[in-house]
């Protein structure tokens, strides 16, 4: 029996090995066969902007990796999208852009960055048309930059203003017997509020209202410029749901016409003076990116390094969606020690996380700043730990819709005393010293232990304030008055001195080059993540876990699964947290 079991295992192992070798061979042949291929763009073409994947600031493929692009990407790089639009602006073969039925999976600041690039495209004298079966608010915000906006006759347009929903779990804790012990510093540090209350505090309600009010103000101002409708009228349209049907949306001026897609294609033909029987040359964005990536817009021996830090901040190596001190500090050190690199831009897109990791990265930034100018560009969010690592820079840029600030810290520790009692579990501890048993989830938290944790929270908060005070050239008292865990929009953050300028990544790069006294320079991006093949192997290794997650989400629904993830995330947090004050779900 043992012999048969071993023989079967050997056979299965051989089959797997041969299968992997075969797949690798097919991929290699495909890469070799396509290595010389280029994307051919016909004259009189239209670039189609159809954003199908979630948008990350940076995908981080290594151009020297032979497997780059050989596997399906899980996200699309904002840097590549913006670069493609910029190249298309001066490409004689591209006559215009068609934005076709998007469902934007991007943050507000990313959407605003794409919109600004499209404005510059129009400035070159080229047209932009957009068509949608329906427009969600973020989709319409992007579409409003177009010369003409069209919608399907049975479609819909959502334009109602921004809102945010916060879930509270106090009653759930009482029913399950699993409680989150909370220690925090910050009047507005409400990441933990859902675990200690059943309703929103006035402080939290105030900051959310002012935050989304500022974000909405930026959106409405841009739409007003694009559509020629006053901000007052746009708010009336939102209040009355004046765009809720295609006909109403046309009457209020939100869009230009209600037509079918074949009629939209005819309008594209007319825009480039095509005859009825002529082929309409549509170029997909993903194809055009291949062509545009071969065109370098900035070149020179001197470089400005752009280090992308995106995702939660967790202790460890990090990766494409996680900021760890390992990969980020390695990138900063490489940029600092590269003689060709004369300035560094840190692109931050993070809600925060580990306070320890944030401080380790902050230290590396301050060391780099001693040798070269360091400028921060903030993306969708650079809050709490995201702001912590930004505070060490010479200068900070934020988009008007960036969510930033949140200078405060907290700690959450699960406690299962009531659950244990309900199901008949009694835990007994034995130790050698008074504090050798630090904490047990099966025993009530002692005042003494809570005091130690509070001491750690206060120490981390004071350190955070020192970093902000030093970096922003303000007193500790001034920093504290802007802190307390409160979040701000980019517009308000500039007003109160937490950021220096409103602008995008390109603006930050230009400022870094100016500080380094560069006229001709190239861009060098960091870090380089694992290859597509390596990530594929890791995905296959974690396939079981992914299948389980997908199964649970399908069975209980997306909203319930989102709640489950929030609770799970809170229970898994280790150490003092410099994290966003709440899960901000802006709708």
Cβ contacts of 137-141, under 8 Å, gap ≥ 24: 137/162, 137/219, 138/104, 138/106, 138/108, 138/111, 139/102, 139/103, 139/104, 140/223, 140/254, 141/111, 141/112, 141/115, 141/219, 141/222, 141/223
Q: How far is CA 217 from CA 274, 322, 397, 582, in A?
A: 40, 31, 19, 22
Q: Is 267 a catalytic residue?
A: no
Peptide bond into 527 cis (omega under 30): yes
For 358, the token pair is: 């944030």
- Pick the catalytic residue: 95, 189, 336, 494? 189
Grouping H, G, I as helix, E, B as strand and the rest as coil, residue 237 is helix
Q: How far is CA 550 from CA 114, 224, 320, 544, 553, in A?
A: 31, 41, 21, 10, 5
Return the closest-CA partner of residue 344 out of 362, 365, 358.
365
Determine whether 282 is exposed, middle or buried from the number of CB atoms within 10 Å of its CB (0-12, 13-18, 19+): middle
Grouping H, G, I as helix, E, B as strand and the rest as coil, residue 585 is coil
The 8-class DSSP code of residue 586 comes to B
Q: Is 170 a catalytic residue?
A: no
Return the closest-CA partner of residue 323 out of 308, 336, 335.
308
CB 111 within 8 A of CB 162: no
- Pick the catalytic residue: 218, 354, 384, 469? 384
Q: Cα–Cα distance between 24 and 265 in angstroms, integer?
A: 41
Catalytic sites, residue numbers: 189, 384
């Amino acid at each position: 029996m043992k012999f048969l079991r071993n023989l079967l295992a050997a056979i299965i192992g051989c089959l797997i090995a041969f299968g992997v070798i075969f797949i690798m061979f097919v991929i290699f042949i495909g890469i070799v066969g396509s290595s010389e291929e280029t994307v051919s763009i016909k004259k009189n073409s239209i670039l189609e902007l159809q954003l199908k994947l979630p948008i990350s600031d940076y995908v981080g493929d290594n151009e020297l990796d032979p497997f780059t692009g050989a596997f399906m990407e899980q996200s699309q790089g904002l840097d590549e999208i913006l670069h493609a639009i910029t190249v298309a602006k001066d490409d004689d073969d591209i006559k215009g852009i068609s934005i076709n039925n998007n469902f934007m999976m991007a943050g507000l600041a990313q959407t605003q960055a794409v919109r600004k690039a499209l404005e510059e495209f129009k400035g070159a004298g080229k047209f932009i048309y957009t068509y949608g079966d329906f427009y969600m608010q973020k989709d319409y915000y992007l579409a409003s930059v177009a010369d003409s906006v069209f919608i399907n006759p049975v479609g819909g347009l959502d334009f109602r203003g921004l809102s945010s929903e916060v879930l509270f779990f106090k009653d759930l804790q009482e029913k399950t017997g699993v409680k989150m012990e909370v220690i925090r510093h910050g009047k507005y540090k409400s990441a933990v509020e859902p675990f200690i209350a059943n309703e929103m505090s006035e402080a939290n309600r105030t900051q959310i209202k002012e935050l989304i009010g500022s974000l909405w103000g930026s959106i409405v101002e841009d739409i007003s410029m694009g559509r020629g409708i006053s901000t007052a009228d746009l708010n009336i349209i939102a209040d009355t749901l004046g765009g809720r049907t295609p006909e109403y949306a046309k009457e209020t001026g939100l869009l230009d016409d209600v037509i079918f897609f074949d009629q939209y294609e005819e309008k594209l033909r007319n825009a480039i003076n095509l005859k009825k029987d002529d082929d309409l040359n549509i170029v997909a964005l993903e194809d055009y990116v291949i062509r545009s990536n071969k065109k370098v817009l900035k070149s020179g021996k001197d470089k400005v390094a752009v280090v992308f830090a995106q995702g939660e901040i967790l202790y460890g190596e990090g990766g494409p969606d996680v900021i760890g001190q390992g990969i980020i500090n390695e990138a900063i050190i490489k940029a600092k020690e590269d003689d060709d690199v004369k300035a560094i831009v840190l692109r931050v897109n993070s809600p925060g996380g580990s306070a320890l990791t944030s401080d380790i990265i902050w230290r590396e930034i301050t060391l780099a700043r001693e040798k070269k100018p360091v400028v921060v560009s903030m993306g969708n969010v650079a809050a709490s730990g995201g702001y912590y690592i930004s505070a060490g820079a010479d200068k900070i840029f934020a988009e008007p819709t960036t969510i930033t600030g949140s200078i405060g810290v907290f700690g959450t520790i699960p406690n299962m005393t009531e659950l244990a009692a309900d199901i008949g579990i009694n835990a007994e501890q034995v130790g050698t010293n008074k504090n050798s048993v630090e904490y047990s989830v099966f025993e009530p938290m002692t005042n003494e232990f809570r005091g130690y944790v509070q001491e750690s929270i206060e120490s981390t908060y004071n350190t955070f304030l020192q970093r902000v005070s030093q970096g922003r050239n303000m007193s500790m008292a001034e920093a504290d008055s802007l802190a307390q865990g409160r979040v701000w929009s980019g517009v308000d953050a500039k007003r109160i001195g937490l950021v220096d300028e409103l602008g995008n990544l390109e603006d930050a790069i230009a400022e870094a080059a100016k500080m380094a006294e560069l006229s001709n320079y190239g861009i060098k991006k960091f870090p380089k993540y694992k290859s597509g093949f390596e990530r594929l192997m890791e995905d296959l290794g974690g396939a079981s876990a992914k299948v389980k997650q997908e199964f649970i989400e399908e069975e209980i629904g997306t909203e319930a699964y989102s709640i489950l993830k929030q609770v799970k995330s809170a229970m898994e947090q280790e150490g003092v947290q410099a994290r966003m004050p709440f899960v901000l779900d802006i709708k």
